[in-house]
Each structure stands twice: as C-alpha cells, then as structure tokens.
Amino acid sequence: MLKYTSLKQKDLDYMTFILRNGMVTANQILVKFREPNIHRVYRRLRKLEDRNYVKHERIAHKVGVYFGTIESRKLTNVQATVPNKATIYTMQHDLLITDLILFYELQAEKQGVEFKYRTEREIRYSMIGEGDNQSKLKAYNDKRDRIPDAVFFFKSAEGNVTTSWIELELNMKDRKRYDEKFKLFDQLLSGESQEDQPYSYDQVIYFANDVKIHNVINQAKQRLINGNKITVRKVPSVILEDRWEEVMPNGSTDGSAGGNETD
C-alpha cells in the first residue's frame, strides 16, 4: 500500500502502461493486467479520470481510448511524450503497436523468453528532449524517420539479447521514402555508430497485411548488404480477431491477484 495517498500500486501501473503506449483501450488493459473482468478496469479508469490522471476520448464515435496526462507523468516520472489528440490513423496505428507488444509479451512468457520493449513515445522523448512545443515539433519532423515505432528486446535462455527495430505499415509509402529509410537500416544493421540512435540493432521487422507493401519491402531489401536482416510479417490473426485466450499462459486469468483489493 502506498503511504500518504489513496492511490494503489495498480493505479500507478495503469498510468505507467498508458503513458508508455500513448493511448490504450480498456480491453488492452484487461489483457495486460489479466484482470478478472472489464468492470474492474472501467472502475479504476474512472477513478483515475476523476483525478485528472487519465483522459478518455471516443474516436470516430466508436473506439474509446485512454490517454495519460502531464499530471500522471509528473507523478509516475515516466519519460514519454504525452498525446493531446488523436486522428483515426494515429489511433489505429498506436493501438495495433500496443497489441503487438502484448502479443509478444505473452508469447515470450509462454516460451520462457525474456521480453522487454521501448515505445516510440519513450524514444521520441529521449531523442528530442525538452524545449517549447515549436522546437520539439521541428526536432521530431527532422528525425521522425529515424525513430522506430517500437523496439523489442528478446533475451534467450543463454543470455543473448536480440534488439529489433519494429515498424507497423498500414499504408504504402512512395518508393523514394523506402529507399531512404532502407539506407538507414543498412547502416544500422552494419553496426555503424549512429550518434542519434540509442540502440544497436540486430534486425528490422515490418508488420503489414497489404501484399503490395510486402512486395515493396522485399524488393527494396534485395539491394542492401544487410537485407537478410529485414523481414516483413503479417499482423497475427490473434490480434485482429481478439483471440487473446490463445496466447494467454495457462492459468493466467488473474481472478485471485487483487481479488480482495479495494479501489
């Protein structure tokens, strides 16, 4: 129990998850924390919303998403940018990235592999730093193609860590844009030191469901020295069809953990 506050550790955990990922749905929180039912998730989110730690917005009159606030960032000290609005595209993109994170987190647990991640918002915060909004926006626009959608770290039983640059491609870009980005990938995958890159990457993984995007990426990587370290995959159907029970570790539905916890 936290002293001198009515907040519980689970409240801080919720805020940290939301802040790191930018925006999330109640169902993603349900999966992440393996809550026994969605009503418990909504109850805690309402509590955080009432205290101005979380904002709720309905995108296109359909999808309800939750954002963190500056107040929750100050409280948790999470080093990540905080969104103030969302378009349908950014909502779709960010939520699918969070789904991918949850999928690989659950898969890794089942397989006994250690999995960690960094989100685009955490990396953007570290690369762009402080300053007024105009200067931060300019810095972001200058570096946006040098910031991954996420970074996945897989640690094997032998202790070897594979660092993966993750891209989620919902729409196909023009050929010139791919050529420029793949030049960066070739440098990164060669082990060349990059001043503005916080990590050394072992591979690049694209996620896309459009066959045309698969073809463009596979063609572009053929011209690279390190093209064999770039792969393109479909977004797992488990994610698209919300079949999370298929990747949940056995017995992981947490009906007891926090079962006696009060809100």
Q: Are residues 107 and 177 in the same domain?
A: yes
- The residue-averaged pLDDT of 174-182 equals 85
Does 134 map to a domain?
A: yes
Q: What is the CB neighbour count within 10 angstroms for residue 23?
A: 22
- Please state, in angstroms and rounded to a whole number, the distance separating the CA atoms of residues 45 and 48: 5
- Asked if 108 and 115 count as a contact pair (C-beta separation under 8 A), the reply is yes
- What's the pLDDT score for residue 6? 81
Q: Are residues 39 and 156 in the same domain?
A: no
Domain boundary among 60, 84, 108: 84
Q: Are residues 95 and 225 in the same domain?
A: yes
| Residue 52 CB-half CA count within 13 A | 3
60 vs 10, which has greater pLDDT? 10
Q: What is the CB neighbour count within 10 angstroms for residue 245?
A: 10
The lowest-confidence range among 5-9, 97-101, 109-113, 143-147 is 143-147
- Please state, in angstroms and rounded to a whole number, the distance separating the CA atoms of residues 72 and 70: 5
**In which region does residue 220 sit, left (phi positive, over 0), alpha (psi from -120 to 50) or beta (all else)?**
alpha
Does 250 map to a domain?
A: no
pLDDT band at residue 255, thresholds of 50, 70 and 90? very low
Does 144 map to a domain?
A: yes
Q: Residue 5 to residues 2, 47, 53, 76, 258: CA-CA distances in angstroms? A: 6, 13, 14, 13, 18
Q: Are residues 101 and 229 in the same domain?
A: yes
- What's the pLDDT score for residue 105? 97
Q: Are residues 31 and 66 in the same domain?
A: yes
Domain boundary among 36, 54, 84: 84
Does 1 map to a domain?
A: no
- The residue-averaged pLDDT of 169-180 equals 87
Please give the tally of structural domains in the chain: 2
- Please state, in angstroms and rounded to a whole number, the distance separating the CA atoms of residues 229 and 211: 20
Q: Are residues 115 and 28 in the same domain?
A: no
- In the predicted structure, residue 1 carries a pLDDT above the cut 50: no
- The residue-averaged pLDDT of 81-95 equals 86
Q: Are residues 79 and 91 in the same domain?
A: no
Tens of pLDDT along 189-216? 987 667 777 788 999 999 999 999 999 9
Does 261 map to a domain?
A: no
Q: Residue 117 to residues 24, 154, 163: CA-CA distances in angstroms? A: 16, 9, 9
Does 259 map to a domain?
A: no
- The residue-averaged pLDDT of 149-153 equals 97
Does 247 map to a domain?
A: no
Domain boundary among 49, 84, 119: 84
Q: Are residues 106 and 215 in the same domain?
A: yes
Does 254 map to a domain?
A: no
- In the predicted structure, residue 128 carries a pLDDT above the cut 60: yes
Q: Are residues 36 and 47 in the same domain?
A: yes
Q: What is the mean pLDDT of the chain?
A: 87
Residues 222/226/228/231 CA torsion (nearest 10 deg): -90
- What's the pLDDT score for residue 15? 98
- What's the pLDDT score for residue 196? 73
**Pick from 52, 95, 47: nearest CA to 73:** 52
- Asked if 92 and 170 count as a contact pair (C-beta separation under 8 A), the reply is yes
**Pick from 40, 28, 16: nearest CA to 105:** 28
86 vs 252, which has greater pLDDT? 86
pTM of the model: 0.88
CATH number, domain with residue 39 = 1.10.10.10
Q: Are residues 131 and 101 in the same domain?
A: yes
The lowest-confidence range among 23-32, 55-64, 146-155, 197-206 is 55-64
Q: Are residues 96 and 127 in the same domain?
A: yes
Q: Are residues 127 and 166 in the same domain?
A: yes
Per the structure, the complete domain to which residue 203 belongs is given by 87-239
User: What whole-number percentage of the chain has pLDDT above 90?
Assistant: 59
